[in-house]
Chain A
Amino acid sequence: MSKVLMKGNEAIGAAAIKAGCKAFFGYPITPQNEIPEYMSREMAKSGGVFVQAESEVAAINMVYGAAGAGVRVMTSSSSPGIALKQEGITYIAGAELPCVIVDVSRGGPGLGSIQPSQGDYFIATRGGGNGDYRHIALAPASIQEAVDLVTEAFDIADYYRNPVFVLADGMIGQMMEPVEFRDMPSRELPEKTWATDGTKNSRKPNIINSLALDPAVLEEHNIKLDKKYQQMEKNEVRVEVFNMEEAEVVLTAYGTTARVAKNAIELLEAEGIKAGLIRPITLWPFPHQAFREIPGTAKAILTVEMSMGQMIDDVKIANEGRLPVHFYGRSGGMCPEPQAIVDKVKEILGGVK
């Protein structure tokens, strides 16, 4: 199929429908409004349902219900709305149900701003819900990648019976880029024998629940969940490593910021400075191995974010104290300029030499 021009939010909606999403529940918030708008127009055409819920809390609980019935389901929101969904997300993770949650993040804290931000790294990787739960967090850096990852997210969710979180900053949601809807490799998925889709008088009723009052039973459940999360850590890490050969400094950034960082790397190259990039595509599980493979030429790591520094904690864990870790960030809805990153790299190298 040839390329079309789409806004990130529309493309995310289109990808979900193509992946077989049959239910969407959401509530308006900028800068993700084009997702529910698109879904409200397109879901019925493909035999799905769209509901504008009365709140984000209602929407995520509708997701809980639809996921329990074995239906491919998605919700989307932006930062403050995602914060509201956290209770539902931990329930869904506890009940081991698949769903896709898209966060088109904006400036915070609180109501913040409507401009792009990466201040939701913590909520995406640590979660805001209670208990020992994890979910994969995918971070696209282009509209094409958003389409590919959202398509795959439904398979990943079904495979692990777990929510999958897609973190797209406001720029990815609002930007227009050429995109192609291609066939993605699909996983072999088990039948949803656990779904509450009617016994048809042929089996015992299935129960969807996240309550286990017996501590021994709950601990067993936690151990089972943890094994699943370990499998995700082993099998689902995605990362792009760019221009790393003989790099003097290693930039690390995800989403929109990685695009800006790549541009900065080109500018540095023109000045004879070799810089590489580690771009986590999964924020959780974090690509630790890529940091172990940083070449000996590297003198420092520079983490670039559209926040006051959230991923930098994971970078420090992955770095295991080998190299000094620096930070450059813009926040509040401001986007870093390539030249500012160039200047920061020069400052770091000046300090190292």
Chain B
Amino acid sequence: MLNDNRIRVITGSYGTGKTEFSVNYALKMAAAGNKTALVDLDVINLYFRSREKQQELEAAGVRVISSSIKGRGADLPAVSAEAAAPLQDTSWQVVLDVGGDAMGARVLSRYRTYLQPGEYDMFFVVNANRPETATLDGALEQLEAIQRVSQIPVTALVNNTHLVKETTLEDVIRGQALCRQLSEATGLPLRYTSLLETLVPQLKTTEILDGIIFPLSLMMRETWMS
């Protein structure tokens, strides 16, 4: 797990769970003793961005970079110039948490210089329970739009099919069927299947799932949220 290229770019349609995946990824990296930076490039959403968990992340040893404008209420698509630092400094392991859809991916083209083949992985996160990406056509359209706008090729898929706390294994398996179709259509491998850590014990055998099992602990949901 986590044995990907130094810069991990997390993209996808909004609502796929990119931020949960990014935050969990960065925490796992830091826990394994890596010098880890999480760059929140989300200029689309205003709520539930990884910067809201800056304190928890920094306490766990993750460097968090987001807007140059402090405060979580800023309705401005600003990204700190600091974002380029861990991309340039190869001693850092980096997770780029990108905003949803092609609109969110637009900001990526700014960092294209650093995203050279072999230097980065760009994951396309799939949630088959989101209406826009529930079908092969829908998912393909999103994936192609993100590549077109960012001008950066996706390198692998992540199946993160969920219904937040109501997620069942059936959801994950249904998402996998879609990812297999998407994989066949694009030639992209499915690198991770991420699912709630509470679902992992229900797996009788991990062999039913493709890719590496990535247990998720929900960091962005308040206790009162479903």
Contact = CB atoms under 8 A, between A and B. Distances in A.
B75 A259 contact: no
Query: Could you say which of B48, B129, B162, B224 has the most chain A C-beta atoms within 10 Å of its C-beta?
Result: B224
Contact of A260 (B129, B131, B224): B224
Nearest to A2: B129
Contacts of B48: 174-175
B47 A171 contact: yes
Contact of B225 (A4, A14, A114, A175): A175
B226 A5 contact: no
A4 B129 contact: yes
Contacts of B222: 260, 335
Interface string B174-190: 00000000000000000
Nearest to B74: A114
A178 B47 contact: no
Contacts of A174: 45-48
Contacts of A113: 73
A4 B47 contact: no
B134 interface: yes
B47 A263 contact: no
A333 B73 contact: yes
A260 B164 CA distance: 17
Contacts of A116: 47
Contacts of B131: 4, 6, 14
Contact of B226 (A6, A171, A178): A178
A72 interface: no
A90 interface: no
A325 B75 CA distance: 37
B163 interface: yes
Interface in A60-105: none
Interface of A: 3-7, 14, 30-31, 113-116, 142, 170-171, 174-178, 259-260, 262-263, 333, 335, 338
The 5 closest A-B pairs by CB, nearest first: A263-B224, A174-B47, A178-B163, A5-B129, A259-B224
19 contacts: A3-B163, A3-B166, A4-B134, A5-B15, A5-B130, A5-B163, A7-B14, A31-B46, A115-B47, A115-B72, A116-B47, A174-B46, A174-B47, A175-B225, A176-B15, A176-B164, A178-B226, A260-B222, A338-B223
Interface of B: 14-15, 45-48, 72-73, 75, 127, 129-131, 134, 162-164, 166, 222-226
Given A3-B163, A6-B15, A178-B226, 10 more contacts: A5-B130, A7-B14, A30-B46, A31-B47, A116-B47, A170-B47, A174-B46, A175-B48, A176-B15, A178-B129
